[in-house]
Structure 1
Amino acid sequence: MSLPRIAVDAMGGDEGVRVMVEGAALARRRHDKFRFLLVGDEPRIKAALDTHPNMRSASEILHCDEVVSGDEKPSRALRRAKTTSMGLAINAVKTGDCGAAVSGGNTGALMAMGKIALRTMPGIDRPALAGLMPTLGDDDVVMLDLGANTDCDARNLIQFAVMGAAYARIVTGKAAPRVRLLNIGTESIKGTDNLREASQRLADATGLAMQFDGFIEADKINRGEVDVVVTDGFSGNIALKAIEGSARFVTDLLRTAFTSSLRSKIGFLVSRPATELLRHHLDPNNHNGGVFLGLNGVLVKSHGSANAKGVSNAVHVCARLLEDDITRRIAADLAEVGAGIGGEGRTGAGRTDAESATADAAGKPQDTGEASE
């Protein structure tokens, strides 16, 4: 089976070339049929490949020494798309030279470039940023949107549910993932008009490859009771940061407690297997790799601070989505439910993301909804 290549923005992320190349090399051990296009400064990439011969034999280098900085505005990054490592990696997907691209660079710039270069799939108004989060159950939970669209109408939320369910089927292996909308309560009368409308339409729809069961509150996201949580990017990004902050709080609290006295240190040695399991479960590197679902191509965002293991997981996400043909799955699901499920027109959300990205490139004010690191 011939699989499309994966383009790696080797200059993206806080650590740059060394970590990006090492992460891709680790991922290739799990996906040895894949080949890579490494985009960035050629001498530095070659030096990094010297310690990864398995990666060197499966890689081509596209030289580029311009980088999108972490604080660069998306409008400026768009104008430099043809000369930066991020832009060239995305362009490789656009031209068909690669099937997917992964970058640890500026999220807003990646989102804007992806929208303009790849465009949204037929039947999708707005792409959504989806990520995986740990749960008490056997599988991670898919959550979207995590910051790409701050203001969403019912039609957007329904499309997010379809895309999230398609992604969850790949991640969990379930034929009909459990899907819920994030809300301030589970009662049908709770939430905004858009949430209630989306819930009603999803409940009434037939032919959906999902189990839709209304609303879920934020404190239940990680309980393992749901496979997909759907929300707008504003609420989703806040929930994500709150969960990540709580995880860091717990680990820091345990570290302080176990070092507070000699008895505590002895207690740590006794309970070390359990605490190591907890640390592994809460480590964001083990769940790294946000996906821009709804684009004509696979685009994955790695945390800028990710280590080699984290980058490896982001590349693993790319490989899984290509192996399971996520774009075809979403297209098939949209065709199954029919174009009318989300209703006609747009209410409340205003412009499509392509229109917003174009406005941003022209320097006009807009609601970007950028997800931060």
Structure 2
Amino acid sequence: MFEGESKFHHIPEDSPEHVEMQRRRSKKESSTFGESSLTLAENKSETAASAKEGDLTAEEREKILEQSLGHEREIFLRLVEAEVEGGNSLKRRKKAANEFLEEAIRDKALQQELSESLGISVEDLSPEQVTEGLRNKQLGVECFQKMLKVHVAEFHRKAEGVESIIEKYREEFLVIARAAVKNGYLPTSEEKLLSRLEGIPSRVFDTLEGAHVAEEEDGAISLNIDIPSEAIRHVVYHELVHAIAGKSIATYQEKEITMTHEQKHGLKLRVEAPGEHIITGRFSWLDEAVTEETALHLLGEREDEVGDYQFERLFLKSMIDAGVPEELFRNAYFEDYDTEADPGQRMPAWHALAKKINEVGREKNIKMKDFSTMFKQ
């Protein structure tokens, strides 16, 4: 589909450009609500104290904290007080904000300060009263700083637990995937499987920062801290199937700018939009459908009862039921772009899939290209 694109130059997977792209992606870190602002406040305080050559006054400390943490406090209060009518992400963030308050109330070191500042007993502390105290400044910015520190420590404690579960399922996936390569279900090599799974980082995100949406090209297993423990295995398998998918690495030249893309990743293709100087994705829905079906197969779960991307998978099933063999989708999904082959022969499995879909859809005047942007988000 993109073999004739003049602005794309296909490069090997071990090329310096791709290695550098992977290195940058692997360095991406998850962020915890307030953590960077806490660091900023500490650095500013140290710099100010050093310049003064002495301790800061209470007013000076408060001013620095207000400058560094005031914005975070306002964001937090908006989340707590937000009226949620729809939108799963906002609901999750609001729930996380309430948990933030509960963490502060449970903390033994903070309880007494909250109680004294609000003029109520420890037993009577509630999220609503703490919120009101932050809003009317009964609880000062220094108290909010302590609440943030409690949250950051609690987040990292929980994240360690999630990371250990991820590691367990990563090892399990490798065993199952190797067996699937040997029995022919996964049309790839064991060498390629091991290479692509090596060094994949995992990241746990703070839902209070905003629900993270994982991308298969992000090069990591990315989960939000509020993910139910029973869902972790499923997500890990799905993301690792993305990781072992067939790919094509290409540089894209636009004037003086050179960008490196995974132009083919599974069944998702990146092409230049007709008449536009932008790179756009095609067949993303089909890529996700095949990824999820493959993950469910490896998980050993009943595909008609569980799983994500249900609409996409239903449409995939309808094509299989219409006569497109399931293995054609998997073959194209795991196929790498062959830079050494002649033009027109570099993605034979993809072309075989497109040919069969066009064949099956002829009676209904449906062609492969008609499916490229379905379920576009």
Q: TM-score range by the shorter chain?
A: under 0.3
Q: Which of structures 1 and 2 has the bigger CA Rg?
A: 2
Greater helix content: 2
TM (norm. structure 1) is 0.24
